[in-house]
Amino acid sequence: MTRMIDAENLTKKFGGLTAVDNLTLHVDDGEVFGFLGPNGAGKTTTVRMLCCLISKTSGTAKVAGYDVGNEADAIKIRGLIGFVPDNVGLYEDLTAYENLDYYGKLYKVSEPQRKENIQRFLTLLGLWEKRDVAAGTFSKGMKQKLAIARALIHDPEILFMDEPTANLDPESAKTVREFILELKHQKKTIFLNTHNLDEAQRICSRIAILNTKLMAIGTPEELEHLTGARRTVIQLEQVTAAVLNALEKLSLGKIVQDGSKLTVETANPIKENPGIVQAVVEAGGRVQSVSVSSSSLEDAYLKLVREQK
């Protein structure tokens, strides 16, 4: 597997403020890599360093094998990446087509290829019928989709996206997510900045959680297990004192009652659930259903961020 992004102890300071502190991470070819963190965590600063838009203070980073911080390599990096910033910055007097054509020329994309790419991306993003309309008249969602098309006009090896669905209405956000999934299917390498946990869980192959320092990194499933919390949910016909007393004798984790439903924290549901069900039945409980609920990505994220405070 080819590594497309390699960062080792990457650090950025603004005067006395450390925005990114000794960040080490690696992103492979064809991976959709999620970068999660609260506002002010250093996500945008990291992306701007990797895109050679701002300098690093210390540490090393490579993008597609080229050194971030080396002036000659920086030009090469900018030529092979696409960047969707949090502020789209389109030429609002130009039409959608003219915006893409202009950037295609900057990247020295041939005219036939420009025409093909412009039509393909505007069609995929639902903007082809608006190709001759000035970008300044577009809604926020339409501008965001046009910015994504602009970032892809030269068929980049790596796509950096900074909060691509932030402040979009649900329909526009859904279109953008589906487009990212289409790019994932095409094996594009995508570095996705977001604080949308559901979005990260649905789209990303791996996720890093940043809060100035790197808190954790792994697949969504691996991160979910960081809290160690698993829960057995028992739906009963009725919860009685006898049932609660029987469960308390088993030395389980926290037991929460919600009407006729009991949620029990368990270290190993597969081993513990038979004993739990047996105890409930012997205490006269009538079990309607039993299910296992794992900790969520949200649980892991909040646990890590709160622990750092």
CB atoms closer than 10 angstroms to residue 39: 8
Tell me the pLDDT band of 230, cut-offs 50, 70 and 90.
Answer: confident
pLDDT at 308 over 70: no
> Do both 69 and 201 map to the same domain?
yes
Give the domain-ending residue among 218, 246, 262. Answer: 218
Confidence (pLDDT) at 228: 61
Q: Supply 72's token pair.
A: 């000659």
> Do both 187 and 234 map to the same domain?
no
> Do both 126 and 247 map to the same domain?
no
In a domain? residue 176: yes
Q: 114 CB contacts (<8 Å, ≥6 apart)?
A: 100, 101, 104, 105, 153
Q: Strand pairing partners for 134? A: 95
> Do both 56 and 171 map to the same domain?
yes
pLDDT at 105 over 90: yes
In a domain? residue 235: yes
> Do both 92 and 232 map to the same domain?
no
pLDDT in tens, 64-100: 999 999 999 999 999 999 999 988 889 999 999 999 9
Q: CB of 269 within 8 A of CB of 276? A: no
Confidence (pLDDT) at 259: 93
Average pLDDT over residues 51-73: 95
pLDDT at 236 over 80: yes
State the sign of the Cα–Cα–Cα–Cα dihedral 54, 58, 63, 68: positive
Give the domain-ending residue among 167, 191, 218. Answer: 218
In a domain? residue 308: no
Give the H or E element holding residue 53.
none
Pick the more confident residue, 301 or 20: 20
Q: Supply 218's token pair.
A: 């792994």
pLDDT at 231 over 90: no
CA distance 12 to 42: 9
In a domain? residue 134: yes
Confidence (pLDDT) at 294: 63
pLDDT in tens, 247-306: 999 988 889 899 999 998 887 788 889 999 999 999 999 999 999 876 677 777 777 777
CB atoms closer than 10 angstroms to residue 90: 20
Percent of the chain whose predicted confidence (pLDDT) is above 70:
97
Confidence (pLDDT) at 201: 87
> Do both 40 and 184 map to the same domain?
yes
CATH of the domain at 246: 3.30.70.100
pLDDT in tens, 152-184: 999 999 999 998 887 788 888 888 888 888 888
In a domain? residue 303: no
Q: What is the overall mean pLDDT for the chain?
A: 90
pLDDT at 309 over 70: no
Q: Supply 203's token pair.
A: 């789209």
The C-alpha angle with vertex 108 and arms to 104 and 111, in degrees rounded to 5, equals 65
Whole-angstrom CA distances from 145 to 124, 156, 174, 268 are 10, 17, 11, 45
Confidence (pLDDT) at 295: 62
In a domain? residue 304: no
CA distance 188 to 185: 8
Average pLDDT over residues 174-203: 89
Please tell me the total count of domains within the chain: 2
Q: Strand pairing partners for 81? A: 158
Q: 251 CB contacts (<8 Å, ≥6 apart)?
A: none
Q: CB of 227 within 8 A of CB of 295? A: yes
> Do both 166 and 95 map to the same domain?
yes
In a domain? residue 209: yes
> Do both 233 and 93 map to the same domain?
no
CATH of the domain at 50: 3.40.50.300
Average pLDDT over residues 44-66: 96
Average pLDDT over residues 15-33: 95
State the sign of the Cα–Cα–Cα–Cα dihedral 133, 137, 138, 144: positive
Query: How would you classify the pairing of strands 206-211 and 32-36?
Result: parallel
Give the domain-ending residue among 198, 218, 238. Answer: 218
> Do both 18 and 74 map to the same domain?
yes
> Do both 259 and 169 map to the same domain?
no
In a domain? residue 92: yes
CA distance 100 to 84: 13
Structural domain including 175 reads 3-218
> Do both 202 and 239 map to the same domain?
no
Among all chains, which residue has been given the structure tokens 């993003």? 125
Whole-angstrom CA distances from 105 to 54, 62, 116, 185 are 24, 26, 13, 27
> Do both 24 and 159 map to the same domain?
yes
Q: CB of 80 within 8 A of CB of 64? A: yes
Q: CB of 51 within 8 A of CB of 160? A: yes
